[in-house]
């Protein structure tokens, strides 16, 4: 059975850094990356959570394959959107990139250093440069801390970024940057609205001048009108501070608005990845087509006669994924080959070498274009 993995030529080459001493590694991690160059290179990333049985003598009886061989590049200055249904492994990818979870296998190269293998001061330098904004602005902020303490907390671990005497000024500056009144520094989270709280979360994410921000459903808990304001703020900050974003969401419209490229995940794997025009206007993977067919379109003419693909069946358990293509139990095009061979994420042969936006990576044996956004 063929094993998955992205086709080599589709991913940028990893130039592994040969720095060996801690000081050399730190210097490499702090060096700037040119716009458009890969800043993060994820290769065959796997995270299996062991399933155990027994009380005293725990025995492993299986594993939840939350992330099962994911590869992608993040380019400096871009926003890579990651979409997929609940439980497909998006947050686990985020935690692996943040080194909050230990990878079962695979690599995450940041400026040529595999961060899954780092520890001590080098890991600390990585954590300063890769920050996260979380989904829920209601629970992710400690209710007993003032906004000033919340935003300034990262300085306790990295005092070199803002020495003690300078912290108040720096926090007020950050409040101003995210559009909040600097005089609110002594207020508590409950005194803010949801949108304002997410601005506080973003200010905290910016505190250490990171290069990459991993945003895990940053606007999903907010009202639609507030979502747009927060997204606009994030876009403005990206330009101002030269940030690269991994933007996780299950709302495809929001992802399209903010992303340069989009990866679609299904059951621990990437099903399709490409620029937003490639994915939204020329999807070739049946799963992406089904997701897109459910996205509302504002134009009534386009809406009329539009095909809506209803997926039947539940998402299979990640502890026991289907053989071959993981989407086959819900795919209307599935054939015998789909149960036998794992489709590789690569430009499908039918499109290879052709100048069409359908020529992007898609993990389907029978990839074909289907316009699901416009009417037939």
Ligand X SMILES: Nc1ncnc2c1ncn2[C@@H]1O[C@H](COP(=O)(O)OP(=O)(O)OP(=O)(O)O)[C@@H](O)[C@H]1O
- The whole-angstrom separation of Cα 26 and Cα 9 is 30
What angle do the packed helices 120-129 and 22-30 form, to 10 degrees? 10
Dist CA 234 CA 25 (whole Å): 30
- Tokens at residue 76, please? 């400096």
Per-position b or e across 113-134, b if 16+ CB within 10 A of its CB: bbbbebeeebbebbbbbbbbbb
The least CB distance from residue 63 to ligand X, in Å, is 9
User: Which residues contribute to the site for ligand SF4 (CB under 6 A)?
Assistant: 285-286, 325, 327-328, 331, 333-334, 338, 343, 364-366
- Out of 5, 19, 46, 49, name the contact with ligand X by CB under 6 A: 49
Q: CA-to-CA distance for 370 and 62, rounded, in angstroms?
A: 38
343 binds, among Mg ion, ligand SF4, ligand X, none (CB under 5 to 8 A by kind): ligand SF4
Residue 260, both tokens:
């340069």
Of 86-94, 106-114, 280-288, 348-356: span binding ligand X (CB under 6 A): 86-94
Which of the choices Mg ion, ligand SF4, ligand X, none does residue 221 contact, using the CB cut-off of 5 to 8 A by kind?
Answer: none
Helix (H/G/I), strand (E/B), else coil: 105: strand
The residues with which 79 forms a beta bridge, in sequence order, are: 245
**SS3 at position 209:** coil
Find tokens 């026991």 and name the residue.
320
Q: Which does 49 bind (CB under 5 to 8 A by kind): ligand X, ligand SF4, Mg ion, none?
A: ligand X
Q: Choosing among ligand SF4, ligand X, Mg ion, none, which partner's interface includes residue 88 (Cβ < 5 to 8 Å by kind)?
A: ligand X
Rank residues 86 and 225 by Cβ distance to ligand X and give the closer one: 86
Residue 366 contacts ligand X per CB under 6 A: no
What backbone torsions phi and psi does residue 230 show, to the nearest 5 degrees?
A: -70, -40
- We find the least distance from the C-beta atom of residue 354 to ligand X, in angstroms, to be 33
Nearer to ligand SF4, 182 or 316 (CB): 316
**In this complex, which beta carbon is closest to ligand X, that of residue 315 or of residue 346?**
315
Closest separation in Å from C-beta 356 to Mg ion: 33
Q: List contacts with ligand X (CB under 6 A).
A: 49, 64, 66, 84, 86-92, 250, 318
């Amino acid at each position: 059975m063929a094993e998955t993995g992205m086709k080599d030529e589709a991913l940028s080459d990893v130039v592994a850094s040969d720095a060996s001493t801690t000081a050399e590694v730190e210097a490499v991690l702090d060096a700037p990356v040119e716009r458009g160059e890969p800043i993060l290179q994820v290769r065959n990333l796997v995270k299996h959570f062991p399933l155990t049985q027994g009380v005293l003598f725990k025995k492993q009886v299986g594993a939840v394959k939350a992330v099962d061989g994911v590869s992608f590049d993040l380019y400096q200055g871009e926003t890579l959107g990651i979409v997929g249904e609940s439980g497909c492994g998006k947050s686990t990818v985020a935690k692996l990139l943040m080194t909050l979870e230990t990878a079962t296998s695979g690599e995450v190269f940041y400026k040529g250093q595999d961060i899954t293998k780092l520890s001590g001061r080098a890991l600390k330098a990585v954590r300063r440069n890769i920050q996260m904004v979380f989904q829920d602005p209601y629970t992710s902020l400690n209710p007993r801390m003032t906004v000033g303490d919340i935003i300034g907390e990262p300085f306790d671990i990295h005092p070199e970024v803002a020495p003690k005497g300078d912290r108040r000024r720096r926090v007020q500056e950050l409040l101003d940057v995210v559009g909040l009144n600097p005089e609110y520094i002594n207020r508590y989270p409950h005194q803010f609205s949801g949108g304002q709280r997410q601005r506080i979360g973003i200010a905290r994410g910016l505190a250490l001048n990171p290069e990459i921000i991993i945003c895990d459903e940053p606007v999903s808990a907010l009202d639609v009108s507030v979502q747009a304001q927060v997204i606009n703020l994030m876009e403005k900050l990206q330009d101002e501070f030269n940030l690269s974003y991994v933007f996780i969401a299950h709302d495809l419209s929001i992802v399209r608005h903010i992303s340069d490229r989009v990866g679609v995940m299904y059951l621990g794997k990437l099903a399709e990845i490409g620029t937003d025009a490639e994915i939204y206007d020329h999807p070739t993977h049946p799963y992406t087509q089904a997701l897109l067919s459910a996205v509302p379109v504002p134009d009534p003419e386009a809406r009329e006669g539009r095909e809506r693909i209803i997926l039947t069946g539940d998402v299979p358990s990640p502890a026991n994924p289907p053989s071959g293509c993981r989407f086959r139990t819900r795919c209307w095009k599935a054939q015998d080959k789909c149960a036998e061979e794992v489709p590789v994420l690569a430009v499908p042969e039918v499109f290879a070498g052709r100048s069409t936006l359908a020529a992007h990576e898609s993990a389907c044996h029978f990839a074909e274009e289907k316009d699901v956004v416009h009417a037939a």
